[in-house]
Structures are given as structure tokens and as C-alpha cells.
């Protein structure tokens, strides 16, 4: 088994009346199967969703990032990426945003563009050990 160390840091001086500053770090035990940082172009709305994590044994830790680029790799897009858990529209990620979350083993995660542009996303996952 391997370990993965995610760190989340949130800081702001003007999001609330008090300054915000905290960091959370964890050490996660992970094993196979896993997919290291990868890129793929996802279909336009109404097209076939791209499977990011297949339904399988073992809960997963998942990373998905909207690159802000269309499939040609240079044209910008502001259209959202829709991430589905099974058949449910679960997460919407705007250009430049990312998500890090645990996912249930028996649920497939898919992604599709919310509009008429193909979008490049980065993704990775690791199975909980």
C-alpha cells in the first residue's frame, strides 16, 4: 500500500468579517487500481459522457480539474463541466476550478460539457486502501 497526502489551505482577508486562514492535511492509504494525472476531452452536452472512474470495488479519492480549454488545447472556454455520480448531475466545475472528493465504490463517475464545446479536463483517482 502507498500513501497520498492531500492538503487544503483556505485563506482570505475579506470573505467574512474575520480573516480566514486554515489548513487541513491528511494521510491516506491507497492501492490499486489507480489512474495518475491524466487529460481527456469530454463531449458536448447531449453527447456521450466520458467515464472518469468506473464502477468497481473500493471507494476512490478523485481529483478533477476544468482546464478552461477546448479540445484543440488553445481555445478558451467558460462553459461548465458536469460531473455525474451514476445518472445524477452532481457537480458543476467552472473554468479553472477543481474538485477533490471521496467517491463510493459502486458508483461510476462521468463528465460531459454543459454546453456546445468539447472541454479538456485533468483527472486522477486512487483506490482507498
Whether the CB-CB separation of 105 and 59 falls below 8 Å is answered with: yes
Tell me: pLDDT of 48 over 90. yes
Cis peptide before 33 (omega within 30 of 0): yes
Digit-coded pLDDT (tens) for 52-82? 999 988 999 999 999 999 999 999 999 999 9
Here the cell at position 84 is 455525474
Q: Give the CATH H-level superfamily of domain 31-128.
A: Jelly Rolls (2.60.120.10)
The C-alpha atoms of residue 113 and residue 31 are separated, in whole angstroms, by: 30
Here the cell at position 71 is 479540445
Beta bridge partners of 64: 99, 123
Digit-coded pLDDT (tens) for 32-43? 999 999 999 999
Amino acid at each position: 500500500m502507498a500513501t497520498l497526502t492531500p492538503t487544503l489551505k483556505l485563506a482570505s482577508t475579506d470573505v467574512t468579517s474575520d480573516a480566514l486562514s486554515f489548513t487541513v492535511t491528511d494521510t491516506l492509504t491507497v492501492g490499486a487500481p489507480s489512474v495518475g494525472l491524466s487529460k481527456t476531452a469530454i463531449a458536448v452536452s447531449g453527447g456521450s459522457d466520458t467515464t472518469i472512474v468506473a464502477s468497481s470495488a473500493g471507494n476512490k479519492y478523485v481529483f478533477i480539474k476544468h482546464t478552461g480549454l477546448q479540445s484543440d488545447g488553445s481555445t478558451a472556454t467558460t462553459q461548465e463541466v458536469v460531473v455525474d455520480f451514476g445518472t445524477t448531475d452532481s457537480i458543476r466545475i467552472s473554468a479553472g476550478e477543481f474538485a477533490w472528493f471521496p467517491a463510493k465504490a459502486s458508483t461510476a463517475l462521468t463528465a460531459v460539457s454543459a454546453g456546445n464545446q468539447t472541454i479538456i479536463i485533468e483527472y486522477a483517482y486512487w483506490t482507498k486502501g
